[in-house]
Structure 1
């Protein structure tokens, strides 16, 4: 498929953005087409820029195919570096991935002797954001002259994405992590200096030391909310139960297991951080065994067992009591369609003083628990009702956050 066919197919976070993808002669340059295609799938227009040595390792024709744009290998009389940093067609960001230690040292020293270093020099002067993703052997990475170069670049406002250390090599970060840094860099930061807590995932209540009661929550919804808040510049604490999902970089993640641990950490973090709001997206277990049996219950000696369950504490009610001023966005999982969402809101507002609720029907297999999709109904304290329709959870997260911010602005006006 061409770059036009795939543009925006996975998201629109980079829609309308032009990104110069600079490729240097690290062996990791074989990942460059994947990085380019991922950026395009999230809406970007990618301009490939390559050093001569990089063009010996990976054909410029591959980068032309990957991006749909002509690769810049040599700077000619068309002064491509100026066109990309000063004209109407200038780029919004320069991404150097992979970056050799040689390239890092040159940029830090102000050397501009090839297409990549010249573009970086001009972008730095033009105030265009630069992200550098190094890849090298560990001995080169720990060279004090290299670490000094990194400090110089960071002092100049350039972002350095640390490599992954494996097999005594500093390997290129996965394309998905590079994408996240690009999106976060380019997104506006209206929530700079504001703090939020998000809860996510299930909790587990032990029957014995081996068995437990839980639910099917994956934590994806809460994690996507935390990711979006972080992208908007917020300080985010994510309190999550057991999950196999990847936690966003830059988020203060706290792992818990049980409902009691969730409540304890929630109250502790609310007192410590004084957040603007709590997005209570965790699926906290409603009941737990009244007693935990030490060791493992022997199934050979007992044909059946009876477990007495007791109700767990309601986290948002205890949060409201401990933090009277915090905004609470409560998630409510229901089984089957809800006929009166306003009644659901008023019930939770009465119980915990919530500002907004997000209702999702977990009886549908194609959405909700474990799925990448969701469909929710949002009710705010101004009694605005918003039905999202079926969407990826990352889009639902944006809608939830944006709706909260709109409601907060209305209340504060």
Structure 2
């Protein structure tokens, strides 16, 4: 499988599989990691082999599955000092295994790989899966805290039906990407406004745009992969980051100012199709069949207020939509914006598009999926 330009391109991941029934998801997980460009090799406990056959995992990874540590000292060649691997990802991790790792107990291939990886300083990500009562056990809670103190990233399970179920595969892949990215944005606070706003016309109707929020989502996920603390103000939900839910432009404006006041923001990216006009609201429901004239009231420009505020973020990035967007971008740069992504209206709601990135001293073009564009924007900022 070929890479996609993701941070997993060319990275080697050791996938540790333990004896949870969630091990059946590892075939899909291995494929998902490989689609992102990673080389995956699995190591299994005896208990895991009773749930999913090593041949199935070998097929999914394209590499021979390790079921015992042999005289080839695979744990050292992969996860030891100067080892070939970039990440040890244990998914699923049972209560038994994670508690053994937290106490340095080495009696399965997976725990042996973990001891070696932790000793060499390699990134380790653990994805627990067990019954909810086991997940709440004081000893398990303590062991998870120990692992986190050691720098292990613990991906929280989904609590459903009395079980602490393994996290979604998409979330696990994103956490793997963050673990191997080098985290150039670690310690940085990123605020993104995304998607469309919804302005009430009457009790049942709204005025909005065709924005899907995909560009903001990809910018947020890329920032998270690169180690940032990310907050997105929008009306959707993005995994792994802090979601602040809003409906209207007024809600978005209030949320942006509140978040900027809470703590210094390093990067503010205005990727939302924020309502320039809000209709004067009709009380009740406008009767069908009537001719109605809507009065549109102009709204304050959030980005201009942010630029002028005493809590102005260190870096401000804007999107400018319109057929003359490159010309209009110049005014934003003059007002203090660091970078403008200029695009035409046909990109609104589309999965891909062409963007021109304009800075004070540079101009570059990016064309492709919005994930590709988001990665290009962060490349330009770093």
Q: Which band: TM-score by shorter chain?
A: over 0.9
Matches of 1:309 and 1:216, distance apart in 2: 18
3-state SS of paired residue (1:233) = coil
1:378 correspondence with 2:343: no
How far 1:88 moved relative to its partner?
5.4
Determine the structure 1 residue equivalent to 2:282: 293
Secondary structure of the corresponding residue to residue 22 of structure 1: strand
Per-residue CA shift, 1:186-234, capped at 9, x if unaligned? 1122233332321111111111121110001111111221222222233
C-alpha distance in 2 between matches for 1:325 and 1:174: 36
1:45-84 matches, cutoff 5 A = 45-84=39-78
- CA RMSD, aligned part only? 1.9
Instruction: Identify the residue that residue 7 of structure 1 maps to in structure 2.
Output: 2
CA pair 262-168 structure 1, distance change in 2 beyond 3 A: same
Structure 1-normalised TM-score? Answer: 0.87
DSSP-derived class of the 2:176 partner = helix
Separation in structure 1 between the aligned mates of residue 254 and residue 177 of structure 2, nearest angstrom: 33
Residues 270 and 323, structure 1, Cα contact 8 Å, conserved in 2: no
Q: How does 1:86-105 map to 2 (within 5 A)?
A: 86=80, 89-105=83-99
Q: How far apart in 1 are the matches of 2:266 and 2:77? A: 43
Give me the whole-angstrom Cα distance separating, in 1, the residues matched to 2:128 and 2:93. Answer: 4
Q: 2: CA distance between counterparts of 1:277 and 1:16? A: 29
Assess if the C-alpha contact under 8 Å between 2:31 and 2:60 holds in 1: yes
The unaligned stretches of length 5 or more in structure 2 are none
Could you give the per-residue CA deviations for residues 65-99 of structure 1, whole angstroms, max 9, x where no partner exists? 11111111012222222222237553111111111
Determine if the alignment matches structure 1 residue 332 to structure 2 residue 311: no
Contact 1:223 1:248 in 2 (8 A): no
Question: Residue 29 of structure 2 is aligned with which of 35, 53, 75?
Answer: 35
1:255-266 alignment, distance < 5 Å: 255-266=245-256
| Alpha-carbon distance between aligned partners in 2 of 1:347 and 1:153, rounded to the nearest angstrom | 50
SS at match of 1:61: helix
Residues 154 and 317 of structure 1, relative CA distance in 2, 3 Å threshold: closer
Structure 1 residues 170, 330: closer, same or farther in 2, change over 3 A? Answer: same
Asked if the contact 1:22–1:96 (Cα under 8 Å) also holds between the matched residues in 2, the reply is yes
Helix, strand or coil at the partner of 1:21: strand
Change over 3 Å in CA distance of 1:356–1:82 after alignment to 2: closer
Establish whether residue 348 from structure 1 lines up as the match of residue 332 from structure 2: yes
Which residue pairs with 1:357 in the alignment? 340
TM-score (norm 2): 0.94
Gap change, CA 1:105 and 1:296, over 3 Å in 2 = same
Match of 2:272 in 1: 282
Contact in 2 for aligned 1:11/1:41 (Cα 8 Å): no
Equivalent pair of 2:19/2:94 in contact (CA under 8 Å): yes
- Provide the residue aligned with 1:411 in structure 2: none
The CA deviation string for residues 153-207 of structure 1, in whole angstroms up to 9 with x for no partner, is 2222222111111111111111110011111111122233332321111111111
Matched, 1:115 2:103: no
In the other structure, the counterpart of 2:307 is: 320
User: Are 2:11 and 1:17 aligned?
Assistant: yes
Give a deviation string over 1:301-328, Cα, whole Å, max 9, x none: x532221112222222222222485432
1:7 match: secondary structure: coil
Distance change in 2, residues 1:381/1:38 (3 Å): same
Structure 1 residue 151 displacement after superposition: 2.0
Query: 1:59: Cα distance to partner?
Result: 1.3
